[in-house]
């Protein structure tokens, strides 16, 4: 099939590449010429495991093409995916200006029937708004607008796209439904479903899924905080509840708050939709408050340990990205923690396998950047674990001991067992578990 993807951000690139991978011809459009030039050469602007290989292969096979010319891409395509940013405005509402501007451009370009698909996360009613803009210049039989939310996790986005748990398609047009059904068949061959529904329910599904997961995490973060006060171990409680099939094992890991480009934005946007509809969605309000608080938990532990006197202390930080396998630092707990450390007059040397450049762009020479995870520990008063990258899970403990000034670890992701830390003689303060070799 012939596809155009407008917007070569994270979602657009994964979408375009994966559609090309299943044999379609995909024209990707972006206004950023520098980015398009890089992409033409097969240079992937984001770190996403597996994406660069697929991208290069499909460029070679001429199944994926890049251009800044919207009209040329649209003329060659039957299905147009809009993968444009929807940044939160001051009040939390998703800003639709990029989508609606492109819709207006499309209304000038389209001459024959096209299916226009909203891939961006957009509030309820957006498909109708896009259709309204298109309909100002186009006859109704020339287009259909479909909602098709993505459920991609950064770090495993290619796999999530190629083998989705489900595909959600919101459309009230039989013609568009048939087109979308054909397009997605290669992705559901394992038997996973395509759910067809109306546009509004589809738009709502995306926000509700992400907000539910954010709520689950916030719930577990509160449980962890209570475990610390009661002497229970949140790891055991997590396993204890997760084996109930009604609850399930996944997304129950406490930590130092959720971040990234989706959860914070989507919870806020759904909360805004509630307000617009004069509904007081109390749970969402609490989810956001709990998350804000949880981002401060690790620093609170550090402050208590040093009795509020952090001036001149040196910290080593492992992990900056909001989660492993990505270089994304949007809303990452590390950023707030670094600021708090600096404001308290302490120093920090950071290490992350992928996110160092992004952090450097924000903090510059206010902090130090380690060559590898061990050199960062040199002369540090304590190690802070902020992202659970696999390489932090089983480190060379001897080197850790040798490099650190004192054997102190604050772990925001519970990567080590209490027994191991006890045996190694570390003061070890993690989330929702007793403090090892120290007082609770």
Indicate which residues carry an active-site annotation. Answer: 262
Please choose, out of 21-29, 50-58, 106-114, 260-268, the segment that lies near ligand UDX by the rule CB under 6 A. Answer: 260-268
For residue 312, the minimal CB distance to ligand UDX (Å) is 31
Residues 301-340 within binding reach of ligand UDX (CB under 6 A): 322-323
Contact indicator for 118, 82 with CB cutoff of 8 Å: yes
247 closest CA partner among 262, 237, 257: 237
For residue 11, the minimal CB distance to ligand UDX (Å) is 8
Residues 346, 361, 66: CA angle, nearest 5 degrees: 155
Q: Using CA atoms, how far apart are residues 122 and 265, in angstroms rounded to an integer?
A: 11
Binding mask 192-221 for ligand UDX (x = CB under 6 A): ------------------x--x---x----
**Is the CB of 66 or the CB of 410 nearer to ligand UDX?**
410
**Which class for 157: exposed (0-12), middle (13-18), buried (19 or more C-beta within 10 A)?**
buried
| 262 touches ligand UDX (CB under 6 A) | yes
Where helices occur in 22-156 by DSSP H, the ranges are 33-40, 51-60, 70-75, 97-109, 126-135
| 48 touches ligand UDX (CB under 6 A) | no
Q: Using CA atoms, how far apart are residues 68 and 29, in angstroms rounded to an integer?
A: 5
Please choose, out of 146-154, 177-185, 334-342, 423-431, the segment that lies near ligand UDX by the rule CB under 6 A. Answer: 146-154
Please choose, out of 1-9, 95-103, 162-170, 251-259, the segment that lies near ligand UDX by the rule CB under 6 A. Answer: 251-259
For residue 122, the minimal CB distance to ligand UDX (Å) is 13
45 closest CA partner among 36, 54, 53: 36
For residue 407, the minimal CB distance to ligand UDX (Å) is 26
Please choose, out of 139-147, 246-254, 298-306, 361-369, the segment that lies near ligand UDX by the rule CB under 6 A. Answer: 246-254
Tell me the torsion sign for CA atoms 361, 367, 369, 374: negative
| 9 touches ligand UDX (CB under 6 A) | no
Q: Contact with ligand UDX (CB under 6 A): which of 252, 297, 348, 404?
A: 252
Q: Which residues, in sequence order, are CB contacts of 308 under 8 Å at separation 6+?
A: none
Please choose, out of 241-249, 256-264, 311-319, 395-403, the segment that lies near ligand UDX by the rule CB under 6 A. Answer: 256-264
**Is the CB of 10 or the CB of 426 nearer to ligand UDX?**
10
**Is the CB of 143 or the CB of 253 nearer to ligand UDX?**
253
411 closest CA partner among 335, 308, 315, 342: 315
Contact indicator for 262, 210 with CB cutoff of 8 Å: yes
**Is the CB of 144 or the CB of 333 nearer to ligand UDX?**
333
For residue 299, the minimal CB distance to ligand UDX (Å) is 17
User: Closest residue (Cβ) to ligand UDX?
Assistant: 262
Residue owning tokens 């303060």 = 429
Residue 243 is classified by DSSP as: T
| 421 touches ligand UDX (CB under 6 A) | no
**Is the CB of 253 or the CB of 305 nearer to ligand UDX?**
253
**Total residues binding ligand UDX (CB under 6 A):** 19
Q: Using CA atoms, how far apart are residues 209 and 232, in angstroms rounded to an integer?
A: 30
Residues 148-187 within binding reach of ligand UDX (CB under 6 A): 150-154
CB atoms within 10 A of CB 260: 20
Q: Contact with ligand UDX (CB under 6 A): which of 196, 212, 219, 251?
A: 251
Q: Using CA atoms, how far apart are residues 197 and 186, in angstroms rounded to an integer?
A: 20
**Is the CB of 330 or the CB of 368 nearer to ligand UDX?**
330
Residue owning tokens 């940013």 = 85
Residues 356-395 within binding reach of ligand UDX (CB under 6 A): none
Q: Which residues, in sequence order, are CB contacts of 421 under 8 Å at separation 6+?
A: 409, 428, 436, 437
CB atoms within 10 A of CB 141: 9
CB atoms within 10 A of CB 280: 9
Residues that bind ligand UDX (CB under 6 A): 150-154, 210, 213, 217, 251-253, 255, 258-260, 262-263, 322-323
């Amino acid at each position: 099939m012939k596809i155009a993807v407008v917007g070569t951000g994270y979602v657009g690139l994964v979408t375009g590449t994966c559609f090309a991978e299943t044999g379609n011809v995909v024209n990707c459009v972006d206004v950023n010429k520098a980015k398009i030039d890089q992409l033409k050469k097969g240079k992937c602007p984001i770190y996403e495991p597996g994406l660069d290989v697929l991208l290069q292969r499909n460029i070679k096979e001429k199944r994926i093409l890049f251009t800044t010319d919207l009209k040329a891409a649209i003329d060659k395509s039957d299905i147009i995916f809009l993968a444009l940013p929807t940044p939160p405005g001051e009040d939390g509402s998703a800003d639709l200006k990029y989508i609606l501007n492109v819709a207006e451009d499309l209304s000038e370009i389209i001459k024959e029937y096209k299916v226009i698909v909203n891939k961006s996360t957009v509030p309820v009613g957006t498909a109708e708004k896009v259709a309204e803009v298109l309909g100002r210049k186009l006859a109704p039989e020339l287009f259909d607008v479909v909602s098709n939310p993505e459920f991609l996790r950064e770090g495993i986005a290619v796999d999530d796209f190629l083998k989705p748990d489900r595909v959600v398609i919101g459309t009230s047009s039989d013609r568009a439904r048939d087109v979308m059904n054909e397009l997605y068949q290669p992705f559901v061959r394992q038997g996973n479903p395509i759910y067809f529904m109306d546009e509004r329910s589809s738009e709502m599904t995306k926000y509700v899924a992400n907000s539910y997961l954010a709520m689950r995490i916030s719930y577990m973060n509160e449980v962890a905080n209570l475990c610390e006060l009661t002497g229970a171990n949140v790891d055991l409680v997590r396993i204890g509840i997760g084996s109930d099939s009604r609850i399930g094992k996944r997304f129950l890991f406490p930590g130092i708050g959720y971040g990234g480009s989706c959860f914070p934005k989507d919870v806020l946007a759904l909360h805004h939709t509630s307000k617009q509809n004069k509904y007081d969605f109390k749970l969402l309000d609490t989810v956001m408050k709990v998350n804000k608080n949880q981002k401060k938990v690790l620093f609170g532990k550090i402050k208590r340990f040093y009795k509020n006197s952090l001036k001149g202390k040196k910290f080593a930080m492992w992990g900056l990205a909001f989660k492993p396998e990505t270089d994304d630092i949007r809303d990452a707990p590390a950023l707030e923690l670094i600021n708090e450390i600096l404001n308290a007059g302490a120093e920090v040397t950071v290490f992350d396998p992928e996110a160092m450049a992004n952090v450097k762009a924000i903090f510059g020479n206010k902090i130090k950047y380690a060559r590898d995870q061990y050199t960062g520990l040199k002369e540090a008063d304590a190690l802070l674990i902020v992202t659970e990258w696999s390489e932090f899970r089983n480190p060379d403990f001897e080197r850790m001991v040798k490099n650190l000034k004192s054997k102190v670890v604050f772990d925001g992701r519970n990567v080590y067992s209490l027994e191991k830390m006890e045996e190694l003689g570390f003061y070890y303060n993690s989330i929702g578990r007793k403090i090892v070799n120290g007082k609770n």
